[in-house]
Amino acid sequence: MPSGRRILSRIQSNSYNSSSKGGNGSHTEDRDSNMVPLAQMAVLPKHCYLPEIPSDPNMSFEAMLYFFGVIAMGLQYINLYRTVWWLPHSHANYALNFYLIDVYLVLFLCFLMCRRIVWCFVQEIYGSRSTKSVVYWVVQLVKGVLLSVNALGLIYTVYQVITNHSALYCLFLSCPAITYVFLFGPSIKPLYHKSLVWPSPVCDRPRHKKEDEEVVLYHNCVLTPDVIRSEVDQFKSDFNNRIKQVLFNSLLTAYYMTFVPLCFAQHVQNTCDSCWNTLYYDTWWVGQHVVVTWLSAFLMLIVHYLPPKYLDLLHRTALHLGRWQKVEGRHAHVPYNAWSELTVWPQGALVKHVKGLFKAEGINVTAEPGNGMHGRFYFLFHQPMRVVNWLLILTWLLVGYQFFCLLQSTEWNHIVCIALVLFCNYYTLFKLLRDRIILAKAYKEEISEEEK
């Protein structure tokens, strides 16, 4: 069991009531005969020190995500409109059939996907806090110009797309709204990942929030069960919201930047000498590009939304939460205690709950027996590097698959497509490997004591 400060827990026992009450009937005596007093001391978990790990600022990350989407869109157009210009009778002077590309659709997608970086600039860039400063008003003017240009560009380009294409194809542009309602409901969530304020390396009370800080997340290192369960609920809601943001924004990037050009390509045709020319493309390859783009954007977003500091807070809370393992079968003569929501239960304690008999697992257990959310939270975060390991495995699989496809490719557009996306995934892999190495050294003592 990991060492730490030992504090008397709020463990109370209702056992042996029959001896104090005297003879109250055989039923009461049989019921209380299995209950035992708990006189153990609760152990306050010892948390390791996590060094500062550099992360990308929000503006830099949004810029990288935007340019990744633009690159993915350009690669999809290469897959759709490539030519064989090197052949003597191809009648093509360029590598792409540029005249088949809908310029208004490209501009609409660019304006739509840059909304995150524009809004991030509006929310985080001030220049000066003083309203009397000239820099402050210059920055406000730039913000107004950016918002106006983005809004007018969206309105103009979407009008041109609607007038140039049928209503059936234009429905493809509104499909993500259904996904948004399914994930977030009718409410409007933040468009980008806000900055966080982290506590000091040791468990402590929250410090005061500054004016320019958006969100304060902290962990209370206490032995108060209701406080710990409330903290778990808060982190659970925040974690679920981050996962929803990651899923939605990664799907949005893959949908608009790779799938929408594919849908509209089926509609665009070329006339030459009064003949209609049908557009042919490799269906498997363009579909694969959509999936790879989504996975790449998903990994980029989740690494940014779940930084090591954030995962460390979840891990600390999971150590205080613990979990209950249901004991199956009949155990009529096994000593147990009646579960109380005001008690911090030690490891190995047996409690009787309305849902059955449960055994405590963890340094301290403040979870509710039979609560599925508490069990999932402990499973995900009680091992500090579980989430990072899963993400690292997924990234290795994606990079390995792309590298294998690169070795097997012979067409020039396939090589260019894989190489550029693979280069973007190398940066995600680098950050995950760096975090994994640092976390392994930081949690070395905690993991070794847990394995004993």
| For the chain, domain boundaries | 58-201+215-306
Lowest mean pLDDT among 145-149, 231-235, 280-284, 312-316: 280-284
Over range 137-164, report the average pLDDT.
90
pLDDT at 286: 92
Give me the half-sphere count of Cα atoms (radius 13 Å) on the Cβ side of residue 24: 14
Mean pLDDT of 137-153: 90
Given a cut of 70, whether residue 314 has pLDDT beyond it is: yes
What pLDDT sits at residue 272?
Answer: 46
345 φ/ψ angles, rounded to the nearest 5 degrees = -90, 135
Q: Rounded to 5 degrees, what angle do the CA atoms 449, 451, 452 make?
A: 70
Which of 42-51, 76-85, 87-96, 236-245 ranks highest by mean pLDDT? Answer: 236-245
| pTM of the full structure | 0.83
Neighbours of 437 (CB within 10 A): 10
Predicted pLDDT at 178: 81
> How many helices (H) does the chain have, and how many strands (E)?
16, 12
- The mean pLDDT of 61-74, rounded to a whole number, is 94
DSSP 255: I
* Residue 140: Cβ-neighbour burial (10 angstroms; 0-12, 13-18, 19+): middle
Q: d(Cα 322, Cα 364) in Å, to the nearest integer?
A: 6
**pLDDT above 90 (res 194):** no
pLDDT of residue 122: 87
Residue 421 has pLDDT above 70, yes or no: yes
Per DSSP, helices labelled H in 83-133 are 103-113, 115-124
Lowest-pLDDT range, 101-115, 246-260, 269-283, 402-416?
Answer: 269-283
The mean pLDDT value for 242-269 works out to 85
pLDDT (tens digit per residue) in 18-40: 333 444 444 444 444 444 445 45
Mean pLDDT over 314-340 rounds to 82
Residues 54-83 have a mean pLDDT of 92
Helix (H, G, I), strand (E, B) or coil at 335: coil
Check residue 145 and give its pLDDT.
92
Neighbours of 304 (CB within 10 A): 22
Residue 48 has pLDDT above 90, yes or no: no
* Per-residue pLDDT at 43: 73
Mean pLDDT lowest for which of 77-91, 189-203, 401-415? 189-203
Tokens, residue 151: 């809004």
For the residues 290-312, what does the mean pLDDT come to? 95
User: Sign of the C-alpha dihedral, residues 368, 374, 376, 381?
Assistant: negative
pLDDT value for 215: 52
Distance CA 347, CA 363 (A): 6
169 has pLDDT over 80: no
Lowest mean pLDDT among 48-57, 180-189, 408-417: 180-189
pLDDT at 384 over 80: yes
Percentage of residues in the chain with pLDDT exceeding 90?
39
Q: How confident is the model at residue 214 (pLDDT cuts 50, 70, 90)?
A: very low
pLDDT bracket for residue 183 (50, 70, 90) = confident
Ramachandran class of 91: left when φ > 0, alpha when ψ lies in -120 to 50, beta otherwise: left
